[in-house]
Amino acid sequence: MTTAVLQERTHYLNNGYGLKSWLLTKDHKRIAVLYFITISIFFALGGVFASLIRLELVTPAGDLVSSETYNKLFTMHGVIMVFFFLIPSVPATMGNFFLPMMIGARDLAFPKINLLSWYLLIAGGGFAIFAMMAGGVDTGWTFYTPYSTTYSNTYVIATALGIFIAGFSSILTGLNFIVTVHRMRAPGMTWFKMPLFVWANYATGVIQVLGTPVIAVTLVLVFCERVFHIGIFDPALGGDPVLFQHLFWFYSHPAVYIMVLPAMGVISELVSTFSRKPIFGYPFVAFSSVAIAVIGFLVWGHHLFVSGQSLYAGLVFSFLSYFVAIPSAIKVFNWTATLYKGSISYATPMLYAFGFIGLFTIGGLTGLFVAALGIDVHVTDTYFVIAHFHYVMVGGTVMAYLGGVHYWWPKMTGRMYPEGWAKLSALFIFVGFNLTFFPQFILGYLGMPRRYHAYPPEFQVLHVASTAGATVLAVGYILPAIYLAWSLRYGPVAGSNPWGATGLEWATPSPPPTHNFDRIPVVTHEAYDYTAVPQEVEVV
Amino acid sequence: MTEHIDSVKTYALVLIALLGLTVATTLVAFVDLGNFSVVVALAIAVTKMLLVALFFMHVRYSTRLTKLVIFGGLMWLAILLLLTLTDFLTRGWMGVPGK
């Protein structure tokens, strides 16, 4: 009966079937699906590079690949994962799909620019993949000068051009979100009635618009020095290599918040929905997103503590870096307070949310270690740093991303995923992740440097544990790819609001019609007001 | 929202001012003012930027939100320059050990 209804009704998925209807679509939901497919491919590619790195590190000798190949592997892993998966991950998929729906709009403010941003990501990704096929790049994802401008004989320009182009994709997404939130909120949807996911993506948009042009300019300067030998970063030409690091990290540190802020937005939705309570201290959580966006721009110098940066500047940056922990802590404490006396259900998205809170807390607190001038001297460029940022980016962003994908899957596809398999894979990911990256904290503290493929034999046990963890993690990532694809055809048909959630996106049928709302809703309730939602929920 | 359009006379005056300032930049370059020459050149450049933004880009008649966006952009440029200078200007404060 319900299946028949699903087939009869016109929704965004069956409103046109040809390739043209997808490649020229201006529907934010279809563009979100295009992004979803694209970044899934990039995630798999980045995962293959990670697997090869972990395989090489099983033995102390550098015996699986040559040093040059190893340099290229970790560079391409970083470039793909950062610029082509993590940066677009939550905003370009779930943000694109749900931000307009959550504020009661029929699309983003600039639908054509939205499509353009996807094409820019494809074009940028094309250059990056060309660089890999042609022979790869070996500078590390950070492109530090003067190595990248003078000495590297690999495809630096092609890769940098790819990142340059993809950067405009990110800027346009951010711009679209900012304008949409300002101009297209439904009647009654005041700023403080917006879901926290919208606040988080709005703050992210501000970072994307203000920060990304700087990395674009920096890469152009690298190009100018490499091709025209204009002295900007190379001391031999009269330049200053530390200037590159300032410019690079002015963008790339806030870029961490481009990756994690939208993820925090997802967690706010999950924690509220699965504890059936409004988020504790809503205005604090909302403003903490804005605070992270602003303070995140004042801390970049903590990446330069041992790079020849002035010690006095180091003191300032260390001090400011401690400040950015405050709004992050506000979020973690408020999510935890939301759980108190909540009616908690342990559906898969909530398992990911719990995973996020624990792992992000470890990632964030170890961030304070490396923000301290003294400790940082000891752990700079060691596996401690690798473990720290993987706890934030994988333990944080990827956990939230997967939590969000499971949470909104019934809305996006009209089908439920298999709960048992999903819980199993969430468990695999949590165990695999910790087994992969926790040993790396110890390795780093003991002195194992990053970016080396040979190491002293006494580190082998921890490296083998890490590789074993990566294997479990890989299984955890492959499982959802299989059961989510399976559910597209065989999953039980989902109702319009399977979780009994409060957001306006759940007030539409699943999958939503092309124009989202037949009638633009008038918002009268606060965000997360569960008394306002009809409760015919089966809690899993 | 109605768009304010300046008279042709205003645009012409701004254009003349911009051309005049360009000539001024060139002339000042031939005078040796020591460190001060950078200050003068930048002052002229900022004046020109303001003229273009306020008149040609209609910022003078824009909403407060638009002004806030522009102010934000300039603030962020200031953050980039100032915090980078905390490094470049203080590097020499600590001597190199052994020298």
Query: How many CB atoms sit inside 10 A of residue A188's CB?
Result: 12
Q: Over range A442-449, report the average pLDDT.
A: 97
| Rounded distance between C-alpha atoms, residue A41 and residue A533, angstroms | 37
Element (H, E) at A471: helix A460-490
- Model confidence over A470-519: pLDDT tens digits? 999 999 999 999 999 999 999 999 999 999 999 999 999 999 999 999 99
Specify burial of residue A418 (Cβ count, 10 A radius: 0-12, 13-18, 19+). middle
Tell me the pLDDT band of A540, cut-offs 50, 70 and 90: very low
pLDDT(A8) > 80: no
- Count each helix (H run) and each strand (E run) in chain A, helices first: 18, 0
Nearest by CB to B90, which of A240, A246, A312?
A312
| Rounded distance between C-alpha atoms, residue A36 and residue A30, angstroms | 10
Query: How many CB atoms sit inside 10 A of residue A341's CB?
Result: 9
Task: Using DSSP, state whether A534 is helix, strand or coil.
Answer: coil
Query: What pLDDT shows up at residue A9?
Result: 87
Nearest by CB to B90, which of A246, A308, A313?
A313
Tell me whether residues A309 and B72 touch, CB distance under 8 A.
no
Task: Using DSSP, state whether A449 is helix, strand or coil.
Answer: strand
Q: Report CA-CA distances (Å) from A205 to A100, A222, A351.
A: 14, 26, 28
| Rounded distance between C-alpha atoms, residue A238 and residue A146, angstroms | 12
Burial state string for A240-274 with b = 16 or more CB within 10 A and e = fewer than 16: bbbbbbbbbbbbbbbbbbbbbbbbbbbbbbbbbbb
- Model confidence over A160-196: pLDDT tens digits? 999 999 999 999 999 999 999 999 999 999 999 999 9
Nearest by CB to B91, which of A182, A297, A310?
A310
| Rounded distance between C-alpha atoms, residue B4 and residue B38, angstroms | 36
- Model confidence over A270-303: pLDDT tens digits? 999 999 999 999 999 999 999 999 999 999 999 9
Query: What pLDDT shows up at residue A342?
Result: 95
DSSP per-residue string spanning A292-335: HHHHGGG-GGGG-TTTT--HHHHHHHHHHHHHHHHHHHHHHHHH
> How far is Cα of residue A432 from the mean position of the Cα atoms in its chain?
19
> How far is Cα of residue A410 from the mean position of the Cα atoms in its chain?
21
Query: What pLDDT shows up at residue A1?
Result: 45
Residue of B nearest to A295 (CA): B79
DSSP per-residue string spanning A370-395: HHSHHHHHHHTTBHHHHHHHHHHIII
Peptide bond before A88: cis, by omega within 30 degrees of 0?
no
Query: What pLDDT shows up at residue B2?
Result: 58
Interface subset of B 67-86, CB within 8 angstroms of A: 72-73, 76, 79-80, 83-84, 86
Q: Over range A255-284, report the average pLDDT.
A: 97
Tell me whether residues B93 and A312 touch, CB distance under 8 A.
yes
- Model confidence over B49-76: pLDDT tens digits? 999 999 999 999 899 999 999 999 999 9
Nearest by CB to A310, which of B65, B73, B90?
B90
- Model confidence over A395-420: pLDDT tens digits? 999 999 999 999 999 999 999 999 99
Tell me whether residues A310 and B88 touch, CB distance under 8 A.
yes
- Model confidence over A46-61: pLDDT tens digits? 999 999 999 999 999 9
Is the pLDDT higher at A317 or at A3?
A317
DSSP A63: -
- Model confidence over A196-240: pLDDT tens digits? 999 999 999 999 999 999 999 999 999 999 999 999 999 999 999
Burial state string for A4-20 with b = 16 or more CB within 10 A and e = fewer than 16: eebeeeebbbeeeeeee
- Model confidence over A361-397: pLDDT tens digits? 999 999 999 999 999 999 999 999 999 999 999 999 9
Task: Using DSSP, state whether A415 is helix, strand or coil.
Answer: strand
| Rounded distance between C-alpha atoms, residue A68 and residue A7, angstroms | 54
Nearest by CB to B73, which of A210, A242, A250?
A210
Query: What pLDDT shows up at residue A538?
Result: 46
Q: Where are the alpha helices (DSSP H) in A57-146?
A: 67-79, 89-90, 96-102, 111-134
Boundaries of every domain in chain B? 1-57, 63-90
Q: Over range B28-42, report the average pLDDT.
A: 90
Can you tell me which residue has the tokens 């298999």?
A418
| Rounded distance between C-alpha atoms, residue A128 and residue A149, angstroms | 18
Question: Dihedral (C-alpha) A83, A87, A89, A94: value to the nearest 10 degrees?
Answer: -150
Peptide bond before A91: cis, by omega within 30 degrees of 0?
no
Tell me the pLDDT band of A539, cut-offs 50, 70 and 90: very low
Average per-residue pLDDT for chain B: 90
- Give the predicted TM-score (pTM) of the model: 0.93
Residue of A nearest to B88 (CA): A310
pLDDT(A529) > 70: yes
Element (H, E) at A246: helix A241-275
Give contacts of B84 with chain A, Cβ < 8 Å.
Answer: 243, 246, 250
Tokens of B93: 């404060």
> Predicted ipTM?
0.88
Best to test chain A binding among B69, B83, B89 (most A CBs inside 10 Å): B83
Average per-residue pLDDT for chain A: 95
Per-residue H/E/C for A491-517: CCECCCCCCCCCCHHHHCCCCCCCCCC
Question: How many percent of chain A have pLDDT more than 70?
Answer: 97
pLDDT(A256) > 60: yes
Can you tell me which residue has the tokens 């935890």?
A336
Query: What pLDDT shows up at residue A7?
Result: 53
Can you tell me which residue has the tokens 């319009």?
A496
Q: Report CA-CA distances (Å) from A19 to A111, A192, A199.
A: 18, 40, 34
Query: What pLDDT shows up at residue A534?
Result: 63
Tell me whether residues A310 and B76 touch, CB distance under 8 A.
no
Can you tell me which residue has the tokens 């182009």?
A165
| Rounded distance between C-alpha atoms, residue A278 and residue A335, angstroms | 10
- Count each helix (H run) and each strand (E run) in chain B, helices first: 3, 0
Check: CB of residue A316 under 8 Å from CB of residue B83. yes
Q: Over range A116-141, report the average pLDDT.
A: 96
Tell me the pLDDT band of A537, cut-offs 50, 70 and 90: very low
Q: Over range A243-267, report the average pLDDT.
A: 97
